[in-house]
Structure 1
Amino acid sequence: MIYIIYDLEFTVVRKQQHLAEIIEIGAVKVAEVNGSLQIADKFQTFVRPSGNPVLTRHTTEFTGIRQEDMAGAPDFREAVELWTQWIGNEDYYLCAWGSDDKYQLIRHCREVKLDPDWIKNHNNLQRQYSKKAGGEVYQQIGLKRALEMEGIAFEGSHHRALDDAYNTALVFVKRFEDFELQTNAPEDDYTYSSEVVYSSGEEEASSPFQALAKLLRPDAS
C-alpha cells in the first residue's frame, strides 16, 4: 500500500456565478522504504482551465502561477491521466489536507464525463489531525499551524500544489500512527450525488466560497 498526498491550486474568482477551476496538481508518494515511511516520488503538473483560460491578476498574485505556465499545459482530463499513470497499479490511499480538493476533483470529473472511480480511499488528514492534536474542543487546524506544532519548517512556497503536498506529507509521516485511514469509494460520499461547493479552511478565510460553504455545510467553519 502506498500513500498519495496531494494538493490542488485553483483560479481565484470574485464573482459568485463563477466556479474555481483547477490549475495545478501536486502530489508526493509516501511508501515504506527500508522499514520506514519516506517520500519516494513527486508529481506536478499545471492544468489548463477551460472555462476561463486567461488567469486573472488575483490568481497570479495568490498562487504565483503565471499565464505563461499555462502554455502547453494539459487540460484536466489529460492531467488526471498523467497523474494516475504516475500513481501506478499498486493499492493506494489518496490523502489531502482538508475536504475541498476531493469535492473539486469530483466536480471536474463530472464536467468532463470522466469516471471518478480512481478517487478512492480518500482521507481528510486535516480533520483527523485536528481531532488528535486540537484539544478537547474541536477546532480545524491549518497546515501552517500543524507544521509549527510539529516543529517542521515549511519548505517551498505557500499556495503551490507540490510544495503544499510535500509539507503535508512531512506532517503525515511524522504523525503516521495517529491517522486512521479509511477505505472508501467516491459514491460513498454525499458530494458524489449532490452539488459540490468549494469551501476553504482557516487559511482561506477570504475565499468567496467560504460563506456559501458555511450555509450548506455547518462543519466547514
Structure 2
Amino acid sequence: MPKKKKITPKQETALRCLQQNFDKRAELAPSSDDVHATISKSSPVDIDVDADELEKNIATLSINNGNTRIRYILCLDIEATFDGDKSFSHETHEVIELPCILADIKEGKIIDEFHTFVKPSLHPQLTNECIALTGITQVDVDNAPTFREAIQLLDGFMKKHSDKLHPPPQIGSPPPNGWPNLGPRNYVWVTDGHADIERFLCLRSCRINRVRLPAYISGGYIDMKLLFKTHFKERGFRRLPDMLAKWGLSFEGREHSGLQDARQVARIMLFMVQMEAVQLKCNRSIVMEMNLSFAARQL
C-alpha cells in the first residue's frame, strides 16, 4: 500500500470542497438515452479527404506554451473488448464504452459529462471475461451507436462547450487546405496511461471503422499515470485506487466502468492541481495521419 500523505487543515477544506462538487456532478449525470438521442449526421469524421496539417501543427495543438493557461481538462477512460487472454492482445481491442468528463480546474469542479456505450464491429459478441471485468452487458452494446456515431456524439459534446474551449474544437473532416494554425489550447485531454488513445482509439477502432481521430484530440495530452509517477518520484505501477490513497481517499463506484474510472481520473487531477500545485503540461502527443497510421511520442 502506498504511504498516505499528511494533509494540512487548509488542504482538508480544499479536499472537502472538491468532493462536494464531485458528488453534485455525479448526481446530474445524463442517461445514455439522452445522449443517444443527439446523434447528428452533419459532422462525420471521414478519412477520404486530403491530408490535413496535423503533423506540421502538432506544436499548436498542445499546451506547451507559457502564455497559455489551462482552464479545462477532458478526462477520458475507455473500455474495450478483449478475449480473456491476460496478454491483452492488440487484435482484440475495440471501444465499447466512451466517457469524457469535463472539469474546470480554476473552479475545482466537474462541469459536464459525456457517456455512450459503443457497438463493436469485428467482435460484436462480448466474451464472458469482458463482461465480468467491465460490467458492460451484451444488451448495452447491442443497443449502442456504432463507433462512427459515437464520435459524432462526442463532436456534439465538444461543440456544446465551444464557448469555453479555445480555440474552438475542430469538428469533422479538415478543409482542403488543412486546419488553420489556431495556437495553443486552454484545455487538455487526460488519460490514465497511453493505451486509451494510442491503442484503443488509434490502433484499433479508428482503423477498423476507417475514422480519423478527431483533430480536437490530436496533439499533446497528459498521461496521468506518468504525471503521477514523475511528481511523486515513484517507479512502480499505480492503479487509480493507489493514487487516491495518497490523500486517504477510496475509489468511488465500480472499477473498470469507463464512466466511473473517468470520474476518478478527474478527481485525481483536481487534487493534483489544487493540493499538490502541479503545473499542467503535456507529457505525450498523438497524431493520426491520413492513412490511419499514427505517430505517438513521450514529450
TM-score, normalised relative to structure 1: 0.77
SS of structure 2 residue aligned to 1:83: helix
User: RMSD across aligned C-alpha pairs, in angstroms?
Assistant: 2.7
- In the TM superposition, residue 184 of structure 1 has moved relative to its aligned partner by 7.5
**1:105 matched residue in structure 2:** 201
Distance 1:69 1:134, change over 3 A: same
Take 2:133 and 2:158, find their aligned partners in 1: how far apart are those partners?
28
Gaps in structure 1 of 5+ consecutive residues? 195-218
Match of 2:149 among 78, 82, 89: 78
Tell me if the contact between 2:286 and 2:295 (Cα under 8 Å) persists in the aligned partners: no
- In the TM superposition, residue 94 of structure 1 has moved relative to its aligned partner by 0.9
Amino acid at match of 2:116: T
Tell me if the contact between 1:125 and 1:179 (Cα under 8 Å) persists in the aligned partners: no
- In the TM superposition, residue 67 of structure 1 has moved relative to its aligned partner by 0.6
Match of 2:108 among 37, 46, 58: 37
Match of 1:173 among 270, 279, 283: 270
Distance 1:129 1:188, change over 3 A: farther
SS of structure 2 residue aligned to 1:174: helix
Take 1:188 and 1:2, find their aligned partners in 2: how far apart are those partners?
23
**1:93 matched residue in structure 2:** 188
Gaps in structure 2 of 5+ consecutive residues? 1-70, 167-186
Higher RCO, Cα 8 Å, sep 6+? 2
Amino acid at match of 1:52: H
Question: Does 1:133 find its partner at 2:235?
Answer: no
**1:11 matched residue in structure 2:** 81
Superposed CA deviations along residues 175-202 of structure 1, whole A, max 9, x for unmatched, are: 113243229863399x7148xxxxxxxx
Structure of larger gyration radius: 2
Question: Does 1:65 find its partner at 2:163?
Answer: no
Tell me if the contact between 2:77 and 2:262 (Cα under 8 Å) persists in the aligned partners: yes
TM-score, normalised relative to structure 2: 0.58
Take 2:75 and 2:84, find their aligned partners in 1: how far apart are those partners?
29
Percent identity reads 25
Take 2:84 and 2:252, find their aligned partners in 1: how far apart are those partners?
29
Distance 1:183 1:158, change over 3 A: closer
Pairs aligned (count): 191
SS of structure 1 residue aligned to 2:78: strand
Determine which structure has the larger helix proportion and give its number.
1
